[in-house]
Chain A
Amino acid sequence: LSATPEVPKEDGRPKWDNKFQYILSCIGFAVGLGNVWRFPYLCQIHGGGAFLIPYFIALLFEGIPLLHLELALGQCLRKGSVGAWNTISPYLGGVGVGSWVVSVLVSLYYNTVLTWVMWYFINSFQEPLPWSACPLNENRTGFNEECYESTAVNYFWYRKTLNITPDIAESGTLQWWLILCLATCWAIVYLCTIRGIETTGKAIYVTAIFPYLVLTIFLIQGLTLPGATDGLIYLFTPNLNTLKNPRVWLDAATQIFFSLSLAFGGLIAFASYNPTKNDCEKDAVTVAIVNSMTSLYASIPVFSVLGFKATTAYWDCLDRNIISIINEFDLPEESIMQQNYTSWISFLNSSYPEKIAGLKLKSCNLQEFLDQSVSGTGLAFIVFTQAIILMPGSQAWAILFFIMLFSLGLSSMFGNIEGVFTPLLELRIIPKSAPKELLSGIICLISFLIALCFTLGSGSYWIDIFDRYAGSVPLLVIAFFEVIGVAYIYKIKRFSKDVEWMTGRKLNLYWHITWRFISPLLLLTVFMAFVILQMQKPPSYTAWNPKYEGFPMKEEKVYPPWVQAICVLLAALPCVCVPLVALFHLVKQKCRSKDPSFVSPEVFSCQGANS
């Protein structure tokens, strides 16, 4: 190396305006919809506060090491996922290609979820909210039957938004309102990613910070609602017995893994725009801790609101019973109140048991209402929207809530699109003279056209499939190969020297142990447990079928064989890239080694890239 002081080489690669933009982008990518609608649900069903124990253990041994690995890799090699892995070793190029494929698949369906959020957002400007009341039937004598039997919120979601078909095999028609919203969402994504990180770097200031503001507002509002404390106590009461169930540990590991958006290639892309002399170790720890803290912080307003909803449902149940009793026995109004309900019931039961039995009163139990746990789209579009109707000023809350969800999802989309965009830019798909705007435009247009499939009647079933198969198993496989590739093929000694050069201090023993042994082992265990659990029963889904006899319960159906084949294809496609590319290079090497003039490529080093 020359004796002159380090001068950053001008390689024309775009770079972040400042470090804060980079950190914010990583945090925005990691913090997504799952922090709001998956973590609180897992906390609830896995013993409340006790779930934090496996969660933090997984964070320590799986989340932070893998995050540090990806950020260090991207920063050192200054290339997107495909280029970076090709540089590490041509045999590992498949890992980069696999990451790219997963990013493509996830971008397609993730933006459709944002489409639903946008649809709800633009409907929140109506007074009263369209999901608060059932529409009337044709002759205006009663309410629409499907709506009446389920609830108005369910009806708005399943019929007015999705217009869902009763079976995945029935595709239904394209829903024009969803197409409009989908076009808008892709236009927004195009607007923000039009010049790569130049534009996302500016947009991230809004999309990453705004959700925290809204969460705080909801926190304050949520805590003032009646029943909020019940919900919070229910959420956080630890039940240490659940830790004996291995399912809890598996869920904690998978939640950390998917929550940090690892193995998408987006983090590698973000880090590649950094200057090489940057403390990636501190960045990784910061991003991981902020992500987990956000999950915890988000679960407080979510559960305050759920507690409020359960309490209101409980009071409604009591009130309905009281009205039936008053009407039956012709008692004066307000003679039975919620407080003396139980004493009245016992009195009436002893004196007129047949009459009481004839009324068919529902038993009202607060615990039961609190137990109704939902995650995912059900939480946001059914449970939360119902709770919002009950709050005063419901339109403002609805608007705030859906903008928050949209920002959370959008900042994650930036990372996904970056994972697709950066490798394509490096592979020189378009000539260098063509503007970057063209490439991002092409990506957004093609994705929009493919994502039109998700606006069909059966679209939401397909999104579930993509979420379950494309966005889960392949990531575990790719991450496993990432760790193995860096630890054993690139060799930890070389990598630790690179990281030392970048951060300026020696690599801690913790990183050595986790990268070499703990993380690969953990990933392997999680992957096998995951696959075994999936294989235990035939893949099934729940369908919304108004003609089902158990309606409004959803009907449990099994996927037809052709759909199962697609599921396997989705899961296998990214994974199969890894051995395929390795095989391709092996064959190429064998052909080349017969050629005596062939010189093997020189050994790559992080410092060497910049001198």
Chain B
Amino acid sequence: MLRALLLTLSVVAVAHAELCKPDAQNAFKVRISIKTALGDNAYAWDANEEYLFKAMVAFAMRRYSSKSTTQISNVLLCNVTDRVSFWFVVTDSSKNVTTVPGSEVEAAIRMNRNRINSAFLLSDKTLQFLKITSTLSPPVEPSTPVWLIVFGVVLCIIVAGIVFLIVSGIQKHKKKNKESTERENLEEKVEVTLENGIPCEALDLKPGHINGVFAADDERFTSL
């Protein structure tokens, strides 16, 4: 009885070894970079983490195919290295010693990638399934591009400045015109005033004009 058990176990082990090895059919390589992702909060990769991984893959398969036949024991891990990287396959419990086609596994993982990542506190870059490409999320784009808003603000300020300067220029021009017409009116009034038939304006414009006749006379008088 014991011998039969041992025999089945060894057969199963050998079968597993056959199914899960590097570059086997339907096998995927996983590469995990915990220290890069978490730095000081990095956890160690041990058997418990491996168990969680198997559980997540089984969960993904169940969710994808919606039939609850995949067990944790169906997920086989092998060749775990220090890097942390390993290979895994998913066996089909209904059919003996075969693996689930790679395309199904790929689709299942793709569908649940987010959940798998968050279970390990990792991201697409730090938990890599080497043959499974991830759909990249586009960057968040606001409805109006930011630059258009800034541009609008700048343009409004500039236009306001230009309008202000032009308006103030026109006002200054008008004031200057008004002043010059006022001065003209004033000058006209001044021109009207006469003194001895000579316009005052003519008199005013000659500053300090020395009358040669009187100056000569003065000299004659003071030479005593």
Contact = CB atoms under 8 A, between A and B. Distances in A.
Interface of A: 118-119, 122-123, 125-126, 128, 133, 135-136, 140-143, 180-181, 184, 187-188, 190-191, 194-195, 199, 326-327, 330-334, 435, 437
B138 interface: yes
A421 to B, nearest CB: 16
Given A122-B147, A330-B81, A330-B83, A435 B169 contact: yes
A140 B158 contact: no
B223 interface: no
A289 to B, nearest CB: 34
Interface string B120-162: 0000000000000101101100000011001100110011011
B146 A126 contact: yes
Nearest to A121: B150
Ordered nearest first, which 7 A-B pairs have the shortest CB separation? A330-B81, A332-B82, A330-B83, A122-B150, A333-B35, A122-B147, A126-B146
B147 A125 contact: yes
A187 B155 CA distance: 8
B154 A330 contact: no
Contacts of A133: 139
Interface centre among A122, A126, A133, A437 (most CB of B within 10 A): A122
B5 interface: no
Nearest to A177: B147
Contacts of A188: 158
A332 B35 CA distance: 10
B115 interface: no
Contacts of B147: 119, 122-123, 125-126
Contact of A199 (B82, B83, B150, B165): B165
A187 B159 CA distance: 8
21 contacts: A122-B151, A125-B147, A135-B139, A136-B138, A140-B138, A141-B133, A141-B136, A142-B136, A187-B159, A188-B158, A190-B162, A194-B162, A194-B165, A195-B165, A195-B169, A199-B165, A331-B82, A331-B83, A332-B83, A332-B84, A333-B33
B166 interface: yes
B173 A333 contact: no
B136 A136 contact: yes
B155 to A, nearest CB: 6
A333 B34 contact: yes
A141 B150 CA distance: 32
A125 B173 contact: no
B36 to A, nearest CB: 6
B119 to A, nearest CB: 20
Contacts of A125: 146-147, 150
Given A195-B169, A437-B166, 11 more contacts: A122-B150, A126-B147, A184-B151, A191-B162, A194-B165, A195-B165, A327-B85, A330-B82, A330-B85, A332-B84, A333-B36
A180 B151 contact: yes
A188 B84 CA distance: 59
Contacts of A199: 165
B63 interface: no
B31 interface: yes
A375 B136 CA distance: 36
Interface in B56-98: 81-85
A334 B81 CA distance: 14
Interface residues of B, number: 30
Contacts of B154: 118, 122, 184
Given A332-B83, A333-B83, A187 B162 contact: yes
Contact of B83 (A118, A181, A327): A327
A279 B208 CA distance: 36
A282 to B, nearest CB: 33
Nearest to B138: A136
Contacts of B150: 122, 125
Nearest to B32: A333
A280 to B, nearest CB: 31
Nearest to A123: B147
Contacts of A140: 135-136, 138
Contact of B155 (A136, A141, A142, A184): A184
A191 B165 contact: yes
A194 B158 contact: no
Contacts of A181: 151
A593 B90 CA distance: 109
B151 A191 contact: no
Contacts of B161: 191
Contacts of A184: 151, 154-155, 158
A141 B135 contact: yes
Contacts of A190: 162
A327 B31 contact: yes
A435 B173 contact: yes
Q: Which of A118, A140, A333 has the most CB of B within 10 A?
A: A333
A184 B166 CA distance: 17
A142 B134 CA distance: 9
Contacts of B34: 333
A330 B84 CA distance: 7
Contacts of A334: 35
A590 B2 CA distance: 131
Contacts of B35: 333-334
Interface string B162-189: 1001100110010000000000000000
Contacts of A437: 165-166, 169
B155 A194 contact: no
Contacts of A118: 154
Contacts of B151: 122, 180-181, 184
B166 A194 contact: yes
Contacts of A135: 139
Nearest to A329: B83
B98 to A, nearest CB: 28
A151 B36 CA distance: 24
A126 B138 CA distance: 16
A191 B36 contact: no
Contacts of A128: 139
A334 B82 CA distance: 11
Nearest to A399: B150
Contacts of B170: 435
A326 B173 contact: no
Nearest to B162: A191
Contacts of B173: 435
A133 B139 CA distance: 9
A333 B133 CA distance: 23
A123 B146 CA distance: 7
A525 B150 CA distance: 49
A123 B145 CA distance: 9
B136 to A, nearest CB: 6
Contacts of B136: 136, 140-143
Contacts of B158: 184, 187-188, 191
A56 B73 CA distance: 80
A332 B80 CA distance: 11
Interface in B3-58: 31, 33-36
A190 B165 CA distance: 11
Contacts of A435: 169-170, 173
Contacts of B83: 326-327, 330-333
Contacts of B31: 327
A448 to B, nearest CB: 13
A135 to B, nearest CB: 8
A142 B133 CA distance: 9
Nearest to A119: B147
A355 B205 CA distance: 106
A327 B32 CA distance: 10
